[in-house]
Amino acid sequence: LFRSLDWELLEADMAACRACVLCERRNQAVLGAGNPRADWMFVGEGPGSEEDKRGEAFVGPAGGLLDNMLTALALSRHDNVYLANAVKCHAPHNRTPEAAEIGACLPYLERQIALVKPKLLVALGRPAALALLNTDVNIGAARGRRFDYKGIAVVVTYHPAYLLRNPQDKGKAWADLCFARRLMAEQTSSGAGT
Ligand code: URA
């Protein structure tokens, strides 16, 4: 009961948020999607126009590719995966959110992570990595490393929208997800996070 109340308060705060300019042209703020008790949590960039319309994360073309990647790992947003974004409001023309906007939205992401308590975080693209690691990483250079967010393992990989434009890098993203799966297996076998 208290848990669902926490989520309701978070949603209400977010819906009323005016912390940055992205609030001015959103249809609605989008918190996330998937199972809020998941072990896996993926963090993207921000809602696209489809997400802004429907109020759910990753329901557009990038979400379709992400769902296929999850299926290949025998995962699903309906089961053991929660999906969030670095920023909760759609940016006009899908521009990349600025560091200050990511910073303004970070308290929402932090509360989300604290509520989900995932065993592993996957940062999809540079804005997500900036939000989780507080560093501007180059995805190509950060791949294959285990980062840390408050004791939770973090893996960095390409954003699915990037992969739609650069399908030649899909193999690398698959390798990154396999690396993430190995880290997850270690978390589970060592009993960490339980
Ligand atoms: N891209 C993202 O980063 N997040 C979404 O929710 C949709 C597209």
The predicted-structure confidence for 95-144, as pLDDT tens digits, reads as follows 999 999 999 999 999 999 999 999 999 999 999 999 999 999 999 999 99
Residue 147: is its pLDDT beyond 90? Answer: yes
Average pLDDT over residues 173-187: 97
Q: Which of 86, 107, 93 is nearest to 25 (CA)?
A: 93
Residue 49: is its pLDDT beyond 80? Answer: yes
112-132 b/e (C-beta count within 10 Å ≥ 16 → b):
bbebbebbbbbbbbbbbbbbb
The predicted-structure confidence for 52-108, as pLDDT tens digits, reads as follows 999 999 999 999 999 999 999 999 999 999 999 999 999 999 999 999 999 999 999
pLDDT (0 to 100) of residue 187: 87
Residue 46 CB neighbours (<10 A): 26
Average pLDDT over residues 11-17: 97
pLDDT (0 to 100) of residue 191: 53
User: Which residue among 30, 41, 51 is best mutated to probe the pocket of ligand 1, counting the most ligand atoms within 8 A of its Cβ?
Assistant: 51
For residue 158, report the distance from its CA to the centre of ligand 1, in Å. 12
Tell me how far the alpha carbon of residue 78 is from its chain's centroid: 15
93: region left, alpha or beta (phi > 0 left; psi from -120 to 50 alpha): left
For residue 18, report the distance from its CA to the centre of ligand 1, in Å. 20
Per the prediction, the chain carries an average pLDDT of: 96
User: Which residue among 27, 58, 95, 163 is best mutated to probe the pocket of ligand 1, counting the most ligand atoms within 8 A of its Cβ?
Assistant: 58
